Structure 1
Amino acid sequence: MTLGSVTITLINNTFDSLDLAIKYSTITTFSENINSTFIKCVRSGFEDPAKINIVTNVSANYVEKGGTVIFTINIINDGGLVGKDILVNNILPKGFTILSSSITEGNLVDNLGVIDSLGVKGSIFLVLVGKSTDGGTYQFQPFVLYEDGININPKSTNSLPKSIVVEPIDVKISILAPTAVLGSVSKFTITLKDKNSVKIANEKLQVTINGKTRTLTTNSNGIVTTTDNLKKGKYNINVKLPATNNYKQSSANISHKVTAPDLKILKIKKSGNDYKVTINNIGDTISKVTKVKIAYLNKYKIANVKAIKAGKSVTVTVKFFKYNIHKKYKKTATVNYDKLFKEPSYTNNIKRFK
């Protein structure tokens, strides 16, 4: 008589010997007249297979991006045989990286626990400290594959799922917008960091300058730079980070000023054959060294004008021709006539006289 791969010897339809011990069998009926001695032998050899269970725990169900969670996994053998070739899968959910880990027996390889065997009523602990890297909701649900000592195919056990919500973190936006002089380029430097002062790369910022919005992406240092050519005046610079899975919405504002010198000829006074020209800087920043020219017909004379601070005046003398030669002609005085520096308007730079 043969049961599976086990051969039983019968003499005169009576149990004689059993060379291979039977560890597990499910017997519902016998067609042969097997004596009570055989049945007793089979029953005494009956054993449960290994039964691996898994119990998990997390230190927190809510954490900010960048925060840590402790993941605990307890592997238990509640069966009657040694469990072998145990693989613990998904030991860390997506959205986390391992900061540290430990296992009481076996090895940890990537996102896998490898255990050679686990005895009856044995228990093994895996503890992992994970850092959250991305916002969102994640499921922590490890499962095990193992050999139960009876079946050819591996068995599996799933743990109960546990949800972990990684919440977006506050950010800080800083803006540098130094005062620019008319004619130069206005430069803006924007830095994006989280509340822990960690630089944030590859995030899109909405930058509004002079009513025009542009979308710019932070570099590896969390910085965006942009420029603009603006007229003289004050401008509000607004920078906004829209809400994402990782970061809370945030915005920042700063005032930017474009200044300019603005020269005005206040008066011209004759002094012998020469002219004394008084020039005032009605702008809000110092001018550069320039020149003033007095001309009539196709003739002219030039004098140098030093830099003038905002709100201040200087008087320069223009050495001119003999008065009798030009007294009947109208003359024109022009300061910064070759536009060595930019002004918001040049109408004040000219004055006509006789």
Structure 2
Amino acid sequence: MATQWLQLRAGKSAWLQIKEQGLSEQDIQLLVGASGGPKWFVLQGLDRYLFGEFFGQRKTPLDLLGTSAGAWRFAALGQRDPVAASELFARLYSTQTYSEKPDVREITDEARKLLAEYIPDQAVEDILRQERFRHHWIVVRCRGLTAAEGKRQMFGLLASAAANSVKRQWLGKFYERVIFHHPASAASFTEHWRDLPTRYATLSQENFKQALLATGSIPLVLEGVRDIPGAPAGIYRDGGVTDYHFDLDFSGVKGLVLYPHFHQEVIPGWFDKGLKKRRTTGALWPNVILLTPTQEFIDALPYQKIPDRNDFANMAADERIKYWQQAVDQGRRMADQLHEWIATDSIRDHVELWT
């Protein structure tokens, strides 16, 4: 029996639809990408297939929802050559190097350099002018001490983590969710999102790069982004703080939701990692298709694990860069498997009910 590299799980309505009809690109109305830093390298092969072949000839609009690395991945869509842009992002990110003990300023400066090369001004213009791929990024606007830098920020983080442990909705006392959306989108699929204070801002030539930088500005690791044009004044940070892997109402999506993910679990917010009872499931997301690596895939990786940010500290640069490239290369096995299942219509036999 051939090794299965990809696990495909779906909520009940998505599962029934695939069982009865298979899967086509027109079935998908929302593509989702989570926070997770370099974990996304195992998904780059899937991105190449989706951005190039699967959605390459799409005529109708496709909504995109991302935070942090997910938003950065999807910024390849709408560029003139999305596959080449995705590969550029993977190369730039995987080959980043820092001094022995980089501070927040150094890491932020490197992120800005990467952004300038990955998303030149012409690419911003191209993305905003086209209407097939409609970006939606979640960024948090900080309140109180969470807006501070340095040690004072830590007190805000501890307080917000404590509040979240009691009730997730209490995160709203510390952070406001801001959805930056493509000018061609009214972001109507988000209309039921009432769990946290939520505002909207339209993406523009003036704020595109700042908003993208902000959605990946990890607290204590990168500097916050101040006063983004077209949005309320304040300090903005990583959207994964509130929406790490998402726990949002997708009933407003008029079709299926495709979610390539690097983790078997879907963790709602950044502070929920250690709260095992807080997990999103297919029972809550009946129209979602979740694509994840199998354990066999992970076991075949160097070190039997998916890349993560700790690799910066735990590995020499040459070792880390080689390992991350191996993760990118192996990720293409998942893409090849998905392509085969869709092309032969055997995807009906491989989808599992996600409960």
Give the TM-score category using the shorter length: under 0.3
Structure with a larger share of its residues in helix: 2
Specify which structure has the bigger relative contact order, considering alpha-carbon pairs within 8 angstroms and separated by 6 or more residues.
2
Which protein is bigger by CA-based radius of gyration? 1
